[in-house]
Chain A
Amino acid sequence: MANAPSATVLGIGNLLWADEGFGVRCVERLDGEYEFGPGLDLVDGGTQGLCLLGYVQAAQRLLIFDAVDFGLPPGQLVQVRDDDVPRYLGARKMSLHQTGFQEVLQLAEFTGRFPREVVLLGCQPEELEDYGGSLRPSVRAAIGPALEQALAILARWGFAARRRAAPLDGAAAVTLPTLSMRRYEQDRPSAEAACRIGDERFLPRAAPQAATEG
């Protein structure tokens, strides 16, 4: 079928850096709770750059989940569309995955294969500088509303969601069970065993002593 609808839902970000995992966690939850008809791809894009070009070029419609610094209160969601998407991703970059992904969007355009519609569902992060940490409560609470917005967009694109009758088999999940939010959080080493801060020059709030002792 040449005219079958095709769309891709892409979660990007690094789940090892606290709220930067927002995009990946949204796709994980969407996948865990809902089923869709054929033609919809859910992708855990992580921090992959160029490897995501094929997904962008192939999609007629593209929905992106990501943590984006809009200068808003933590957990607030923002919907950005089409030409504004690369601009937003480029405006206040928090993480290099966005440099990579902005470039992927530009390259898709350069090669003349760009989705007809692009929507970015961005969430204002609260904390990034917590290596090995998970989402902060404010950002975690935003997943539900983000999914509601996503379901409405997908329905408009012709992909009606059905709640899963039975839990998703781990092996089929878009994000590996080992890295699922539950196991990721449960097995985290203690702060004493594993230093949780990054480079203090970029982290004025972090106490230097915490880095050196312990």
Chain B
Amino acid sequence: MQYQTQGFSLDNSGRRIVVDPVTRIEGHMRIETNIDEHNVIRNAVSTGTMWRGLEVILKGRDPRDAWAFVERICGVCTGCHALASVRAVEDALQIQIPPNAHLIRELMAKTLQVHDHAVHFYHLHALDWVDIVNALKADPKKTSELQQMVSPAHPLSSPGYFRDVQSRIKKFVDSGQLGPFMNGYWGNKAYALPPEANLMAVTHYLEALDLQKEWVKIHTIFGGKNPHPNYLVGGVPCAINLDGDLAAGAPINMERLNFVKARIDEIIAFNNNVYLPDVLAIGTLYKQAGWLYGGGLAATNLMDYGDYPHVQYDKSTDQLPGGAILGGNWDEIHPVDPRDPEQVQEFVAHSWYKYADESRGLHPWDGVTEPHFELGPGTKGSRTALEQVDESAKYSWVKSPRWRGHAMEVGPLARYVLGYAHALKGNRYALRMKEQVDYSARMINQDVPKLLGFAPTELGLKQLLPTTIGRTLARAMESQYCGEMMLADWTELVDNIRNGDTSTANVEKWDPSTWPAEAKGAGPVAAPRGANCHWIRIKDGRIENYQCIVPSTWNGGPRDAKGQIGAFEAALLGMPVSDPEQPLEILRTLHSFDPCMACATHVMSPDGQELAKVTVR
């Protein structure tokens, strides 16, 4: 089968590579690709292999409780679902939250961003770029020199420090128990870093592990409990008393706020001295190796709802401004409204669900989640042991969301292209994003190559950003930006409290007797993985319908009735695979989306199989 869509040519005649599962964390996802005689990917098929059922278990429950359930969907991104949930309910009931509650939610949301981005990069994605076993060959002295070159401000850079880490890795490797590192394709030639860069990155992985557990304490301070912080419809569930004592459960006081400030300072230093320099160095080295693959839809269609308003409830001041970019035209930003039934719609032509008319999409307020599992005639294997799906029929448990009928990529890269486009149009709330993009492009093109002794390049933003590297870079820039915004939020919060405002919740509409008989709302959130939104319909004080479209639904969804492909499938097309038995490039590109299928589907696994199984036919 061959066909053209969205500027891509698909051809499924070549050898089929099946990778299942793609992530070793939450949820299940499978990718099937066809490669031509040069091992270049000509067809990609993304399957969410688990049923998603969150929406239905919320039916009939109290809307004020929904956040607690959605927080349990997945073990990776708790806060962004809870936040989307309380926002959806507040939107439906027209509840406005006090300024302190807004600022505290901002601090919590950005803590999640920073935490999630750093953990994703170092813990889950770095090993697609970094060969940990190769780090054993590094010279600690040269590693120290490299460290001081790429990040002179980072204090941890002595040869002895790197030697110590190296011996710890050696002990682990020698024990034969690689633990979290046991699944890498160590030694694969698609790894492009020299041993010293590998050792530096593994060392920073350990630093990140140590720091991240301090950062999440911000959630405990404001959310009361960790690892599942509390949320509240109408505000935040914490009281403020600057002079209060330190007893457990006591209100937020100055000492706790100072603890938060210390973590913010730590976050900013880590992003500036470690995370961003690492990504710039790795990005430069892979660019130097000619590896600029994986762009897909990022070159054309990108979307976000916009978030982090500088002025509460004023969308025009969003510091991550939203909108939709179509056809790679950065000069035109289309406004996006999650409440408009004509804009965001979900299709199920290729999903294991049933609609009355599957040529049409449904807005989430009218969404239907009715499972309907059937395999196409071209399926290989049996229903219980699937060898190959038939993408001409239904082939995924994920639905296909579309914006005005277009497939869109979401995520930090989408937000950075949007921010850049907004800044070009004079939006002053996006200037910092443009500055970051320009700085990073200059570093990757000029400064880092000079430091490492390579010839500089002159790649434009449209060559550099819509790539696997660009996606990983955008996440690092967003982490840096969030740390900076947190400092501003913190300062505003403390000023506000000092001026005598200690209000943290608006409880006027807490009692369901104050609600209209029927109401509907939408709760968009700039989640770490991209545009996240929950939609709710409330009837007689209870949840009548609840739908989530999470970032991995946008990116990982299957084709629609017109055959249009989603972001995962598009990103793989045209990419060469150096060894089909070890599809490192496929995993690297898919992991650059930070796929988390638990919320796109659900958390059960058939066998908890950890090691990705690769089948080449």
A178 to B216, CA, bound (A): 23
* Chain A residue contacts of B226, Cβ below 8 A: 51
A46 contacts chain B at the CB level, 8 A cutoff: yes
* Chain A residue contacts of B457, Cβ below 8 A: none
A198 contacts chain B at the CB level, 8 A cutoff: yes
* Chain B residue contacts of A208, Cβ below 8 A: 373
Binds B, one of A116-124, A139-147, A156-164, A189-197: A189-197
What total of chain A residues lie within 8 Å of the partner, measured CB to CB?
60
- Chain B contacts with A in 45-63, Cβ cutoff 8 A: 49-51, 53, 56-62
A189 to B69, CA, bound (A): 13
B604 contacts chain A at the CB level, 8 A cutoff: yes
Choose one: A96, A111, A172; the contact of B605 (CB below 8 Å). Answer: A96
* Chain A residue contacts of B354, Cβ below 8 A: 212
Contact B603 A199 (CB under 8 A): no
B261 contacts chain A at the CB level, 8 A cutoff: no
Contact B57 A51 (CB under 8 A): no
Contact A110 B168 (CB under 8 A): yes
Choose one: B177, B212, B372; the contact of A50 (CB below 8 Å). Answer: B212
With A99-B25, A111-B206, A176-B68 in contact, do A93 and B180 touch (Cβ < 8 Å)? Answer: no
With A46-B72, A100-B75, A132-B53 in contact, do A202 and B209 touch (Cβ < 8 Å)? Answer: no
* Chain B residue contacts of A188, Cβ below 8 A: 57
A58 nearest CB across to chain B (Å): 9
B198 contacts chain A at the CB level, 8 A cutoff: no
A77 contacts chain B at the CB level, 8 A cutoff: no
With A100-B75, A199-B373 in contact, do A51 and B25 touch (Cβ < 8 Å)? Answer: no
Choose one: B24, B51, B57, B65; the contact of A99 (CB below 8 Å). Answer: B24
B605 nearest CB across to chain A (Å): 5
Contact A189 B61 (CB under 8 A): yes
* Chain B residue contacts of A47, Cβ below 8 A: 26, 72, 74-75, 598, 603
A17 to B180, CA, bound (A): 26
A8 contacts chain B at the CB level, 8 A cutoff: no
Contact B76 A103 (CB under 8 A): no
Contact B209 A194 (CB under 8 A): no
Closest Cβ neighbor of A128 among chain B residues: B604
Choose one: A49, A107, A178; the contact of B25 (CB below 8 Å). Answer: A49
A182 contacts chain B at the CB level, 8 A cutoff: no
Q: Max chain B CB contacts within 10 Å: which of A53, A96, A201?
A: A96
Contact B72 A187 (CB under 8 A): no
Contact A198 B74 (CB under 8 A): no
A176 nearest CB across to chain B (Å): 5
A95 contacts chain B at the CB level, 8 A cutoff: yes
A7 to B307, CA, bound (A): 41
B610 contacts chain A at the CB level, 8 A cutoff: yes
Contact B249 A172 (CB under 8 A): yes
Contact B56 A193 (CB under 8 A): yes
Contact A193 B75 (CB under 8 A): no
Contact B386 A201 (CB under 8 A): yes
Choose one: A53, A103, A111, A202; the contact of B606 (CB below 8 Å). Answer: A202
A134 to B262, CA, bound (A): 42
B441 nearest CB across to chain A (Å): 31
Contact A95 B605 (CB under 8 A): yes
What total of chain B residues lie within 8 Å of the partner, measured CB to CB?
65
B172 contacts chain A at the CB level, 8 A cutoff: yes
A40 contacts chain B at the CB level, 8 A cutoff: no
With A52-B227, A176-B228, A189-B56 in contact, do A131 and B602 touch (Cβ < 8 Å)? Answer: yes
- Chain B contacts with A in 480-512, Cβ cutoff 8 A: none
B581 contacts chain A at the CB level, 8 A cutoff: no
Contact A96 B371 (CB under 8 A): no
Closest Cβ neighbor of B604 among chain A residues: A198
Contact A194 B123 (CB under 8 A): no
B370 contacts chain A at the CB level, 8 A cutoff: yes
Contact B213 A46 (CB under 8 A): no
Choose one: A43, A46, A54, A202; the contact of B75 (CB below 8 Å). Answer: A46
B252 nearest CB across to chain A (Å): 16
A135 nearest CB across to chain B (Å): 15
A118 to B610, CA, bound (A): 23
* Chain B residue contacts of A99, Cβ below 8 A: 24-25, 608, 610
* Chain A residue contacts of B608, Cβ below 8 A: 92-96, 98-99
Contact A199 B75 (CB under 8 A): no
* Chain A residue contacts of B62, Cβ below 8 A: 178, 187
Contact A110 B172 (CB under 8 A): yes
B453 contacts chain A at the CB level, 8 A cutoff: no
Choose one: B372, B602, B610; the contact of A211 (CB below 8 Å). Answer: B372
- Chain B contacts with A in 557-588, Cβ cutoff 8 A: none
Contact A50 B119 (CB under 8 A): yes
Contact A97 B603 (CB under 8 A): yes
Interface string of A85-113 (1 = CB under 8 A from B): 00000101111111110010011011110
Contact B57 A132 (CB under 8 A): yes
With A15-B72, A179-B68, A212-B370 in contact, do A93 and B607 touch (Cβ < 8 Å)? Answer: yes
* Chain B residue contacts of A97, Cβ below 8 A: 75, 603
A122 nearest CB across to chain B (Å): 14
- Chain B contacts with A in 353-389, Cβ cutoff 8 A: 354, 369-373, 383-384, 386
* Chain B residue contacts of A100, Cβ below 8 A: 25-26, 75
Choose one: B60, B78, B210, B249; the contact of A187 (CB below 8 Å). Answer: B60
The 7 closest A-B pairs by CB, nearest first: A93-B608, A132-B57, A106-B179, A54-B213, A47-B75, A194-B56, A48-B227
A-B contact pairs, 27 of them (CB 8 A): A17-B603, A43-B227, A46-B75, A49-B26, A49-B75, A51-B213, A54-B214, A93-B607, A95-B603, A96-B26, A96-B28, A103-B179, A110-B168, A111-B210, A131-B56, A132-B53, A172-B249, A179-B68, A179-B72, A189-B60, A193-B59, A194-B57, A198-B53, A199-B50, A199-B51, A199-B373, A201-B373
Q: What is B's interface to A at a CB cutoff of 8 Å?
A: 24-28, 49-51, 53, 56-62, 65, 68-69, 72-76, 78, 119, 123, 168, 172, 177, 179-180, 206, 209-210, 212-214, 216, 225-228, 230, 249, 354, 369-373, 383-384, 386, 397, 598, 602-610
Q: What is A's interface to B at a CB cutoff of 8 Å?
A: 14-17, 43-54, 57, 90, 92-100, 103, 106-107, 109-112, 128-129, 131-132, 171-172, 174, 176, 178-179, 187-189, 193-195, 197-202, 204, 208, 211-212
Other A-B pairs beyond A94-B605, A179-B69, 14, CB < 8 Å: A51-B75, A53-B213, A96-B605, A96-B608, A106-B177, A107-B179, A107-B180, A107-B209, A174-B225, A178-B62, A193-B56, A199-B49, A208-B373, A212-B371
